[in-house]
Chains A and B, each alone.
Chain A
Amino acid sequence: MSRKILLKHIDVPGIRGLKAYRENGGYQALEKALKSMKPDEVTEEVKKSGLRGRGGAGFPAGMKWSFIAKPEGVPRYLVCNADESEPGTFKDRYLMSHLPHALIEGMIVSSFALGANTSYIYIRGEMLYVYHILEEAIAEAYEAGLLGKNILGSGFSLDLYVHPGGGAYICGEETALIESLEGKRGNPRIKPPFPAVKGVWGCPTVVNNVETIASVPHIVNMGGDEYAKIGIGKSTGTKLISACGHINKPGVYEIELGLPAEEFLYSDNYCGGIRNGKKLKAVVAGGSSVPILPGELFLKTANGEPRLMSYESLADGGFASGTMLGSGGFIVMDEDTSIVKNLWNFTRFYHHESCGQCSPCREGTGWMEKLLHKFLDGHATIEDIDLLWDIQSKIEGKTICPLGDAAAWPVASAIRHFRSEFEEYVKNPHSIKDVKHYFRINNLVEQ
């Protein structure tokens, strides 16, 4: 199960440049699509491939594309979500900085499928170096006639822009991203209307993650059916996982979906086991937003079946005993980690990043942070655990955008699985305070 698709050529010298990329099969999908396929046929292949969105929610990409409204005379847009700001997730920047043309080819083929003649890559503002890499690659592509008017004589034209954001996590939420792209404050929009009907500049728009789009050329090349054979069940294809935390080999790995979780965590091909021979305590399997799982529940489902790295298996058991594949930000915590302190740190992040539009999230994230701080200070009471639970339950599913959920789930899962640790903080504040460590958000993303 070690098939590589996206990162197959990552080690080829000069692969960042157009020449090496082309020599290694790059832009073949583009030629194939533009010269021999109709836009709808491309969409059809993507549908068949079963490719699911890699940005977090895992929504089938082909289906999303087929929802796009096509009113007469109204332009359509494709926007690539390269905001990647989720703590623990750092796969898109890896892909873009090493293989910029993979994304660009994906953008062109996908734009062709959607009938978009202007497309945007919205990149996180802090990733300026990647911005420059992309700009350079785009210039090369224009030069080679792969972008611009009448690409390769096909009659299809596309202009591609890279738009750096201003450094707000919320701008990764697709509608906030669109607002920000339009030059406004990045507030998520209420839905409906969905971007497929009213997105950028009020026109039909598809927003896809970097990895989703970069997968499209491979699907075009091998055919949707062939791609669907990779992976397991409805989790088709391969997925980039950015692994970090207390493991021996942090880094970005491409895995075939369905890889056993245990193998991923312990095999030397991947994470290489827990650092310093420590024991596993907990895993956040898909980026800071997804529910945290105790080690045992990560490795085996509640039914005792081995957990696989797939959308379905990780979600097995619902939120009671499962989690989500999310955006593939894999954070491992050893036995010395303080769940409460770590949770406080995550919550602080969401509090800081809430856009402030809806009251439950604006005020609720703040109060969750304050309450968690009470635990750390040793002033918390047992009732505070229930209050914390109460607040998160009034945020989850009750806000404009899923940032509210993202803030609530870690709290809910931490209380669900580690209640005793909260109680310990109440009963015995001093004993527990010094020894435990936690993840600083900055360290997470720098690895």
Chain B
Amino acid sequence: MKKTAFINDKPYSFEPGDTILSFVRRYFERDFVPTLCDAPNLDPYGACRVCSVDVALVKDGPCKAQASCHTPVMENSYIYTDSERIKRLRKNIVELVLTDHPLDCLTCEVNNNCELQTVAARVGIRDVRYPEGKNHLDRKKDLSHPYMTSDFSKCINCARCVRACDEVQGEMVLNMAGRGFDAHIIKSFNNNFFDSDCVSCGACAQACPTSAISDVFESKSVSADKKVRTVCTYCGVGCNLEVAVTNGKVKSIQAPYDAAVNQGHTCLKGRFAFSFYNHPDRLRTPLIRKNGELVPATWDEAYNYIANELNRIKKEHGPDAIGGISSARCTNEENFLMQKFIRAVIGTNNIDSCARVCHSPTALGMQRTFGTGAATNSIIDLKYTDCVMVIGANPTDAHPVTGAKIKQFFMKGKPSIVIDPRRTELARYATYHLQLRPGTNVALLNMMLYYIVMDGLEDQKFIESRTEGYEDFKKHILNLDINELEKVTGVDKSLVRKAAHAYATSPNAMSFHGLGVTEHSQGTYTVMLIADLAMITGNIGRRGVGVNPLRGQNNVQGAADMGCQPHQGAGYLDSYDPEINKMYSAFYGVDVPMRKGLKIPEMYDASLAGKMKAMWLMGEDNAQTDPNTQHVVSAFKQLDLLVVQDIFLSETAKLAHVVLPASSFLEKSGTFTNGERRIQRVNAVVEPLEGTKPDGQIMCEIMKHMGFNQPDYHPGVVLDEISRVVPFFAGVKWDELGENGKQWPVKPDGTDTEILHTESFKLGKGRFQTATWRETEELKSNSEQFPYILTTNRELEHYNNGTMTRRTGNVEILTEDVLLINPADAQKHNIADGDMVCISSARGKIDVKAKLTDEVKSGVVSSTFHFPDIHMNDLTSSVADSEAMCPEYKVVAVSIRKSKGVYKK
């Protein structure tokens, strides 16, 4: 039964939980009731009182003024939104607020987009009756930060910024200090933005109704010519961005409140780090190597050169002497075209993508257990879960918007588990931090499984009805030597047991994992054990549960979905299966090969062995980002033809024979698929920089150049082609994706899927898989000489090797890579904070600045590779996951010593 209340004497029905404001707004336009302290993504606060309405409990009964934003609707009450009394009240309140606000609207940054201005106009302020008195108009501006600004003379004390920082970002940087008239916003310990703990997410600036907190791009000013909604390119969260454009240039970025993924939030990369896109370093013309030098060329010259070379190599060495590496930074359409080009035009399965070096074990491990290599649930499930386990992931840095949500969950005090060698930000809030030795994930998860089995915490019903292979699995688990595992991992077994109980006994438990799981020699096995944990406790197939990989780059999911791996074509169909091969051949209109293709590391080996002659890299900088740099570089140097498509002259591009200038994500359209399988539309915000072309267009043009019948590039057309071959894209239509996209599988009728495996698994039944911990080769062979373990990680401010973020203001916030060392280890080697340290591994040595911290345990050191000058990947090894060949970035045997100066190669 719907309940009724009256708005201005007319009856309307309201929903349970409605406040008067949400009730009124359901039927009337947004500013029908003016508000100041209310914001779409924040809890009601009730401070400004501008939203007051008159409420009578019976018809013609006495009215009381109530703040509508937080007062629940009473059944059969009479709400008057505009009585004379209320109008006077609102006017008086705004008038009072204006006594302490400068009246310089005309020159204010947010002129015409200021909520105070709108409300003042709405309530009809004509003059301020209060004599001039003490005010705060002389407050100083804060311009200390590369992005965030404040001018608190404009502050109206609505606390939206404080709440945004608390409720959205969870950073608690801002607060009110002082009482009453003296109440004012402070940052951390009364610092400026730069010295405060602010992580520059911009949530407070977006929330602020005036220009009191803003940013250097003046995001809230109205000077933009147009606003375009698109998707962030910096990580797998896939935040929606609203990009303002002036004179054909990107002016500023805000986050749409109605975005399903990010609800008005972003991190500093998405919101502020866009200035790379028209940086002077952008490539603007194709380059061809002549006499050892890369010289400018026309597109036709470049295409001709490439086509000739490829045809020659194909003729002389066969198509398998050619390989392609696609990019998870590019769109689905572009990835699809890339693999189509390699398979249908070149005629080889030598296609791989950078997913190889990050989440290939996730895809494989989850395919082996569930049948589908993708997140089982959605981020929104964080609202419905009772326990969160984060394994080998540091989302507050690497997936900041999801990270903020997880942190909010952790801070609520519900059971939370972090499995990580580093004391990450989340670990500080976790109920259980299992700080294991790097490389022992398999051992640790086995310990958890052991306790779940030993203590009888399995979900028998789920195991019986939904899975197979449990009996053998159980036998294997019960045979484990728990004390041995405790020694191996270095984690107290009673703590592991408590964590296992928390995960197994919570009504709904959700796990997240990242590269700390996959980038190991036992990466795939670890993923399988995570899946086992979910199955044994029945945490699959409903809200608030599941196995949820945090995808590194923006379109890792999509690159794999589109078939950028040798053994699976578009839609993960087996490219070595004769039946499927027939289907693909018919679909592409040419015979595609069935011969085994090479994965990325195999391509390097083939090149060094003289078998691989040409490689094509789309938006990849493997000479920087792949492990064991020297090995990779020599492989590239061996090639007859290296084609690199990129937006900058990357380290890899410098080695190329042909460099093709591509357009950035702000200049092209297409779709990205985020970590929760959400296919979202990327929309070109500005024209491609002169001289550049979108990667998809380049692919189409070269295909045509090589005689293939490929229509001109349009993402919608390619997407249509994809929907006809990728089964789970069946109902995906360019025009029907809407603002918030769709989560695959999308049925032919267009309905999408938030949760996988609700009834059954892709494999029918889930398969338990066992794994036995083995020490990685890297440590086995090198740890005697190199006794420390180096593990690599990410920082919030930079993205991957930093080619983009280092060309933005982010570099002013985080200026360099550092090596995290436990103070005890540092003392042993006489290393002080800020000293240069020389780290050596079996491959090479580098110099980096030390930062002493107990974030890492003794025996473990940790660093990033955002700054290529450091050459971190000179150290990393060629050891890779035994199953998926994902390199082991996370465990490197090293030695450390204080270095005398800056070591130069």
Contacts and interface: CB of A to CB of B under 8 A. Distances in A.
B36 to A, nearest CB: 8
B46 A400 contact: yes
B181 A192 contact: no
A28 interface: no
Contacts of A397: 64-65
Contact of B179 (A192, A355, A374, A399): A355
Contacts of B130: 367, 370, 387
B553 to A, nearest CB: 39
A367 B72 contact: no
A399 B49 contact: yes
A356 B97 contact: no
Contact of A355 (B52, B88, B92, B183): B183
**Dominant secondary structure at the B interface:** loop
B129 A366 contact: no
Interface in A337-375: 351-367, 370, 374
**Dominant secondary structure at the A interface:** helix
A387 B128 CA distance: 12
Contacts of B72: 192
A365 B181 CA distance: 8
Contacts of B134: 366, 370
Nearest to B130: A367
Contact of B181 (A363, A387, A400): A363
B527 to A, nearest CB: 36
Given A362-B180, A387-B129, A356 B157 contact: yes
Contact of B93 (A185, A190, A352, A394): A394
Contact of A185 (B36, B89, B92, B176): B176
Contact of A362 (B50, B129, B157): B157
A394 to B, nearest CB: 4
Given A363-B97, A398-B65, A400-B46, A356 B178 contact: yes
B47 A363 contact: no
A277 to B, nearest CB: 40
A352 B180 contact: yes
Interface in A145-193: 168, 170, 185, 187, 190, 192
A356 B180 contact: yes
B155 to A, nearest CB: 11
A285 interface: no
A354 B179 contact: yes
A390 interface: yes
A232 interface: no
Contacts of B36: 359
Contacts of B129: 387
A114 interface: no
B133 interface: yes
Given A351-B180, A398-B52, A400-B47, A357 B159 contact: yes
A170 B179 contact: yes
A134 interface: no
B182 interface: yes
B159 A360 contact: no
Given A367-B96, A367-B130, A359 B178 contact: no
B183 A360 contact: no
A361 B92 CA distance: 12
B92 A358 contact: no
Contacts of B49: 358-360, 398-399
Contacts of A361: 180
Contacts, number: 102
Given A354-B181, A359-B97, A397-B65, A185 B52 contact: no
Contacts of A374: 131
B45 interface: yes
Given A192-B72, A352-B179, A398-B52, A359 B93 contact: yes
A185 B99 CA distance: 26
A359 B48 contact: yes
Contacts of A187: 176
A61 interface: no
Nearest to A190: B46
B133 A394 contact: no
Contact of A367 (B89, B133, B176): B133
Interface residues of B, number: 38
Interface string B809-827: 0000000000000000000
A391 interface: yes
Interface string A391-413: 10010011110000000000000
A366 B47 contact: no
A116 B828 CA distance: 53
B411 to A, nearest CB: 13
Contact of A358 (B46, B65, B131): B46
B571 to A, nearest CB: 48
B48 A356 contact: no
B38 to A, nearest CB: 12
Contact of A364 (B67, B96, B156, B178): B96
B172 to A, nearest CB: 11
A352 B183 CA distance: 10
A360 to B, nearest CB: 6
Contacts of B64: 397
A88 B410 CA distance: 46
A356 B96 contact: no
A359 B52 contact: no
Contacts of B159: 357
A184 B538 CA distance: 40
Contacts of B92: 360, 390-391, 394
A353 B36 CA distance: 23
B175 interface: yes
B44 interface: yes
A397 B129 CA distance: 22
B77 to A, nearest CB: 15
B96 A360 contact: yes
A358 B181 contact: no
Contacts of B175: 185
Nearest to B96: A363
A365 B133 CA distance: 13
Nearest to B72: A192
A362 B178 CA distance: 11
B765 interface: no
Contacts of A354: 179-181
B468 interface: no
B721 interface: no
Instruction: Name, among B65, B156, B179, B183, the residue most crowded by chain A CB atoms within 10 Å (CB to CB).
Output: B179
B44 A359 contact: no
Contacts of B180: 351-356, 361-362, 365-366
Instruction: Name, among A170, A192, A357, A364, the residue most crowded by chain B CB atoms within 10 Å (CB to CB).
Output: A357
Instruction: Name, among A359, A364, A390, the residue most crowded by chain B CB atoms within 10 Å (CB to CB).
Output: A359
A362 B183 contact: yes
Contacts of B96: 359-360, 363-364, 367, 391, 394
Contact of A356 (B67, B131, B181): B181
B185 to A, nearest CB: 11
B507 to A, nearest CB: 14
Given A363-B100, A363-B181, A397-B65, A356 B176 contact: yes
Interface string A229-255: 000000000000000000000000000
Nearest to A362: B180
Given A357-B159, A370-B133, 9 more contacts: A353-B179, A356-B180, A359-B36, A359-B47, A359-B49, A366-B134, A367-B99, A398-B52, A400-B47
25 contacts: A185-B176, A190-B45, A354-B181, A355-B183, A356-B178, A356-B179, A356-B181, A357-B47, A357-B159, A359-B36, A359-B93, A360-B93, A362-B180, A363-B96, A363-B97, A363-B99, A366-B180, A366-B181, A367-B96, A370-B131, A394-B88, A394-B93, A398-B89, A400-B46, A400-B47
Closest 4 CB pairs of A and B: A356-B183, A354-B180, A363-B96, A190-B46
Interface of B: 36, 44-50, 52, 64-65, 67, 70, 72, 88-89, 92-93, 96-97, 99-100, 129-131, 133-134, 156-157, 159, 175-176, 178-183
